[in-house]
Amino acid sequence: MVTRTDAPTRREQILKEAARLFAERGFHGVGVDEIGAAVGISGPGLYRHFAGKDAMLAELLVGISGQLLTGGKRRVAETDGDPEALLDSLIEGHIDFALDDRPLITLHDRELDRLRESDRKLVRQLQRQYVELWVEVVRQVYPDLVEPAARAAVHAVFGLLNSTPHLSRPGALPGRAATAELLHRLARGAFAAAAGSGAEKPF
């Protein structure tokens, strides 16, 4: 994920608060007026930026899927042919997402089926491309790992990293840096375990 240094736009502020509120109370539990109040504008004023809540949800879920894929491709381009370094970079990028965008993980789990079919298909298409990018890199690092096993391992690691919304109790996480380091070790350990136990046969 690219770290922004400039101030977020009003549109980005709206999306951030919408994601937080949708994750906390569910899509149907939040009104347009509440989202507007969270960013200091009237509910009707939101319609200058979005057609409605459905449009916000679609932009959030399609947007984060696209950002993950774009970020992954950027890391591939920036890593000078070292598969180990590239895998570490991909893991770091996904950990940034898992720690900094936890409401979007919750939204994806709970609300994806609320998207229009075309938007839902686009999310799935972007996600498949992101998975296959990882699969290629994982198999470069662990060449004996067959493709189905590598793909299963990638999905399992995503599940591990995306578990952060379930650790939101005060004190449940040991601090961002320590949590990131722990998640990274767990991800690499999972891939090594998959290579050690499932290299010869597909899962």
Summarised one tens digit per residue, pLDDT across range 142-192 is 999 999 999 999 999 999 999 988 876 656 667 889 999 999 999 999 999
139 vs 150: CA distance, rounded Å? 7
- What does the pLDDT read at residue 16? 94
Backbone region of residue 123 per phi and psi (left: phi > 0; alpha: psi in -120 to 50; beta: other values)? alpha
**What tokens were used for 37?**
């109040």
- What does the pLDDT read at residue 148? 96
pTM of structure: 0.87
Radius of gyration, CA atoms only, the chain: 18
